[in-house]
Amino acid sequence: MTKPITTLLFDFDGTLLDTNELIIQTFTSVLGSRYPGRFSREDILHFIGPSLKQTFEAIDPDNAEELIAEYRSLNKTLHDELVAEYDGVPETLRLLKARGLKMAIVSTKRRDTIVHGLGLMNIPDIFDVVIGLDQVTNPKPDPEPLKLALDLLNSTPDEALMIGDNSHDIEGGKNAGVRTAGVAWSIKGEAFLSSYEPDFMLQHISDLLELTKEAVQ
């Protein structure tokens, strides 16, 4: 018998906070100055999701650390101007919290930047656990960050759901043995995410209220 979902593991960028334009503009600026004309907006979409280390080492391994530093500096400058909220996210997260669901963020972004984003969304205390890139050795799709979150929440894989907008969220969830949910508002499109065969596809964040109702009855 399938256990009720009591634990929610969320990706952050593109799932809870719309940072897509921020990421695209930061990459466009950094890469455009180094490699004029080499990367289109379509190319840059592929860089949304993986860690900066994974992306820049694939582009220019000799200068990856310098590119990461440049990216982070510009991203911080542009951040608050370019991010936007998705419909219903803060309200739904508050409802889930009030129902007693255990919740964590599992991201390939650094923890301090995630915490800053949560503050902008006015939900600084919603999450029991926030796992950033700087807290693990191996980012998603490796199961390490998901397993760390589950350990800290005192949850087991069979009661957890990983929610994200990208392939590595779904693959990371499968590698950790948890159920997975894609989000239809992914910038890469619902069809792209569906190809990774998540257990669920959320059309709106509030779909989670129905998915977790068994855990709170």
Give yes or no for residue 65 having a pLDDT over 70.
yes
Name, in order, each residue with C-beta under 8 angstroms of 189's C-beta and a sequence gap of 6 or more.
none
Range ranked top by mean pLDDT from 38-42, 203-207, 210-214:
203-207
Q: Which whole number is the average pLDDT over 158-181? A: 97
pLDDT for the residue 217: 60
Verify whether residue 87 is a known catalytic residue. Answer: no
- Residue 2 confidence (pLDDT): 85
Binned at pLDDT 50, 70 and 90, residue 49 comes out as: confident
Structure tokens at 107: 């991201």
pLDDT of 92 above 90: yes
pTM of the shown model: 0.93
Largest separation between any pair of C-alpha atoms in the chain: 57
> Is the separation of the CB atoms in 71 and 26 below 8 Å?
yes
pLDDT recorded at residue 215: 80
Mean pLDDT, all residues of the chain: 95
- What 3-state DSSP class applies to 17? strand
